[in-house]
Amino acid sequence: MLSDFDYNADTETYTFTIDPRWKSLFGGREYALIDWNKRLQISQGQDMAKALQRLFATSDESPQRYALVWLKDKMQYASPVRKFRESLNSALCELKRLEIVARWEIGQSSKGKDQLCIWSGK
C-alpha cells in the first residue's frame, strides 16, 4: 500500500507516500470519494449530515432521489417522521453551508411517496 515511509526525528513527524497503483482502483469513482476538507468542517453533533455526505458521494447523478421512508430506515431513526424531517432539514442546511449540496426539496415521487431530491453542490 505504501511506496515510502519516513520518520523525521528532529520534527517528530512521519511522512508516507501511497503507492500510485492504488489510484487505478479508486480513480474511476467506483467508490465514494469524500471531500475530507469539507467533512472536517461539518459542525459537531451533525452525524446525519456526515451520513448524508457519504450517501450523496456514492453517485454523481444530479438530482439524486431518496424515499423518506427508506432514508429514515437506513439511518435507523426511531423518532416520528416529523422529527426526522426536522433533523433532515438541519443536516441538509449544514451540507448546503459547506456547498456539498446546492439545493434540495422534499416532494412526492411519481408513486405518491414522500421523497428527498437533492442537487449536487459540485
- Quick: pLDDT tens for 37-64: 999 999 998 999 999 998 988 887 889 9
Residue 29: the pLDDT is: 54
Residue 17, pLDDT score: 87
Q: Structurally, how many domains does the chain consist of?
A: 1
Q: Which of 97-120 are b and which e, b meaning 16 or more Cβ less than 10 Å from the residue's Cβ? A: ebebbeebeeeeeeeeeebbebeb
pTM of the entire predicted model: 0.70
Q: What is the CATH number of the domain that holds 33?
A: 1.10.10
Residue 23 structural domain: 2-120
Do residues 43 and 94 touch, judged by C-beta distance below 8 A?
yes
Do 122 and 59 touch, CB atoms closer than 8 A? no
Residues in the chain with pLDDT values less than 50: none
The per-residue pLDDT for 22 is 75
For all residues of the chain together, what is the average pLDDT? Answer: 88
Angle at 68 between CA 66 and CA 74, to 5 degrees: 80
